[in-house]
Every structure is written in C-alpha cells, then in structure tokens.
C-alpha cells in the first residue's frame, strides 16, 4: 500500500476527529476524556496555520482514507521555549503496526530540522511500550518519569518524557 503525507485540509477533519475520539474512548495515548467535534478541530487547524506549525495526515494514495495524523507545537507558552516543541501522532486502528507512525515522526523531525527547532519533546503513557521503542529508534532519550500525574479510565497514569535534541 502506498501512502502520502500532506498538510491537513478542512475536508480531513471528520476522519481526524474519528481517529482522535477512538483514542479518547479506548486508549491511553491521550489522557483526555472529552470527545472532540469537527468544530474543535477546525479551531485547532486554524491555530496551526496561523503559527505555521505542521499539522499533517498520512493518506492511503488509492482510497484517500486518512490513516493517521501528526502535529507539533510550542512545548510551553513562554518565549524561552520557542525552540522546543511537543508532538502528537495518532494512527487509525486499521493501520496500526504498519510503520506509518514512524513515517509521520520522520516527517515531523525533518520539518523541525528545517525550522530551527532545537528540541522535540514526547509525553508518552508508561504502558505504551511500542511508542517508547519507536522514539528510541528515532534517537529520543528518556529525560523524565512522572508517576501518577494523570488519570484515565479511573487509574492513575505515569508519564514518560522523552526528547530529541536536533
């Protein structure tokens, strides 16, 4: 199967929302417990466009189905962090374990290198061993471990912090 990575368009938002909301209701890649609407993601898209931050999809080239999406934005909202970003990657369950997350990550890393980003930060649920391993493959190192800083499905969750110095 051939896939292309391209910028998010407004017509992609319904599929992106479905991918994200599936993770909200079934997984721990996000500790959010609130369903998002297409309107919520329209605002997010506008913010990414205004700030010229990447917000991309990986699309099946034949069916045009959105297999996943990724983005990054400033790590914290203070000027001193302007060269540090935190990223997110979500894959449709149908396309899991096919290397698409890695392709999206490589795309984000290349974008970061071209846009004077100094550090990429990942906040990963401690049970997401596949994501931790992928980040290690891409050169990220664990720089923090924060026990019980979040909750999902009534359980305390630990956060693994990883970073890539570019």
Report the chain (166 residues): mean pLDDT per 10 consecutive residues: 94 97 96 96 95 96 96 94 96 95 98 97 96 97 98 97 98
> d(Cα 19, Cα 57) in Å, to the nearest integer?
11
Give 156's strand partners. 151
Give the CATH number, domain containing residue 134: 3.40.630.30
Q: Report the pLDDT value the prediction gives residue 66, as an integer from 0 to 100.
A: 97
Residue 55: both structure tokens together: 């917000």
138-146 CB contacts, 8 Å cutoff, 24+ apart: 138/102, 138/105, 138/106, 138/109, 138/164, 139/164, 140/164
Number of domains in the chain: 1
Please choose, from the candidates 51, 48, 62, the residue with its C-alpha nearest in 3D space to the C-alpha of residue 8. 48
Contact 123, 159 (CB under 8 A): yes
> d(Cα 58, Cα 19) in Å, to the nearest integer?
12
Range of the domain at 30: 3-165
> d(Cα 95, Cα 88) in Å, to the nearest integer?
17
What's the predicted TM-score (pTM) here? 0.95
Q: Report the pLDDT value the prediction gives residue 12, as an integer from 0 to 100.
A: 97
């Amino acid at each position: 199967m051939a896939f292309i990575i391209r910028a998010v368009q407004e017509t992609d938002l319904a599929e992106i929302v479905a991918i994200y909301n599936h993770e909200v209701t079934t997984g721990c890649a996000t500790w959010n417990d609130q369903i998002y609407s297409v309107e919520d993601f329209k605002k997010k898209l506008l913010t990414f466009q205004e700030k010229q931050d990447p917000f991309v999809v990986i699309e099946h080239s034949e069916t045009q189905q959105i297999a996943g999406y990724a983005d990054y934005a400033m790590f914290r909202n203070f000027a001193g962090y302007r060269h540090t970003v935190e990223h997110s990657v979500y894959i449709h369950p149908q396309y899991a374990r096919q290397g698409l997350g890695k392709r999206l990550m490589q795309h984000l890393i290349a974008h970061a290198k071209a846009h004077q980003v100094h550090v990429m930060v990942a906040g990963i649920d401690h049970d997401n061993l596949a994501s931790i391993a992928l980040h290690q493959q891409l050169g990220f190192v664990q720089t923090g471990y924060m026990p019980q800083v979040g909750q999902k499905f009534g359980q305390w969750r630990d956060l693994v912090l990883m970073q890539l110095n570019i």
